């Protein structure tokens, strides 16, 4: 089973458009907006930026050692 959890902050433009379109037209109370804002702020603090190096393995990202 493939892991669907987000690894990096970056999203494709297509994904951003899908998220935007799905959220449009749904009314939210002021208190709900504040709660969403705080939750997203806390969530994004846990997601790292994508590394600049190419060909980075998951082991490099999580700090595990290769046992070949």
pLDDT at residue 28, as a whole number = 87
Q: Please give the residue range of the domain that contains residue 55.
A: 13-60
Assess if residue 26 is contained within a domain: yes
d(CA 56, CA 22): 33
Assess if residue 53 is contained within a domain: yes
Total tally of structural domains belonging to the chain: 1
Assess if residue 67 is contained within a domain: no
Assess if residue 25 is contained within a domain: yes
Assess if residue 5 is contained within a domain: no
Assess if residue 4 is contained within a domain: no
Phi, psi for residue 58 in degrees, rounded to 5: -60, -35
Rg of the chain over CA atoms, in angstroms?
A: 17
Average pLDDT per block of 10 residues along the chain, 68 residues long:
71 89 89 94 85 67 62
């Amino acid at each position: 089973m493939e892991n669907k959890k987000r690894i990096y902050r970056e999203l494709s433009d297509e994904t951003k458009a899908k998220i935007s379109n799905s959220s449009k037209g749904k009314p939210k109370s002021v208190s709900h907006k504040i709660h969403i804002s705080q939750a997203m702020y806390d969530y994004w603090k846990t997601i790292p930026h994508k590394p600049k190096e190419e060909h980075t393995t998951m082991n490099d990202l999580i700090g595990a050692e290769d046992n070949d």
